[in-house]
């Protein structure tokens, strides 16, 4: 069935380190792909999206490229900040949004 697999957290980094959070999906066809972010005590916010193969979504220094061949949508950021500490969810949609289990990122000064 449809599913999203994310790398398990927590991911612990020092400020200015490079971030990669892996995400792969299993779906019928070529769905739109999303990354959502959840800051402590808040709801989910759309971080970035890509709607077709080879599209790159970007926002706030984060990037992810829709890789059809590997069914992946890995999240990257070149230099993380303490304020990036949050839980990151990979997701794709048909008429329902299918989430991964989330990856907690902790960035220390």
Partner 1 sequence: NAGVTQTPKFRILKIGQSMTLQCTQDMNHNYMYWYRQDPGMGLKLIYYSVGAGITDKGEVPNGYNVSRSTTEDFPLRLELAAPSQTSVYFCAAAWVSAGEANYGYTFGSGTRLTVV
Q: Choose, by CB under 8 A, the member of 67, 72, 85, 99 that binds partner 1.
A: 99
Is 45 an interacting residue with respect to partner 1 (CB under 8 A)? yes
Give the number of other Cβ atoms within 10 Å of residue 6's Cβ. 23
Q: Choose, by CB under 8 A, the member of 31, 66, 84, 88 that binds partner 1.
A: 31
Residues 58-87 that bind partner 1 (CB under 8 A): none
Q: DSSP string covering 51-64, please? A: -STT-EEEETTEEE
Q: Which residues bind partner 1 (CB under 8 A)?
A: 31-32, 34, 42-46, 49, 51, 89, 93-97, 99-102
């Amino acid at each position: 069935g449809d599913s999203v697999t994310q790398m398990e957290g927590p991911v612990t980094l020092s400020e200015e380190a490079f971030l990669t959070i892996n995400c792969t999906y299993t779906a019928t066809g070529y769905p739109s792909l999303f990354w959502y972010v959840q800051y402590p005590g808040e709801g989910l916010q759309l971080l970035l999206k890509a709607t077709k193969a080879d599209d790159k979504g970007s926002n706030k220094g984060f990037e992810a490229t829709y890789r059809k061949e590997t069914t992946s949508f890995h999240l990257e950021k070149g230099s993380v900040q303490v304020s990036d500490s949050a839980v990151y969810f990979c997701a794709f949609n048909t008429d329902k949004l299918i989430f991964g289990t989330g990856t907690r990122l902790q960035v220390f000064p």
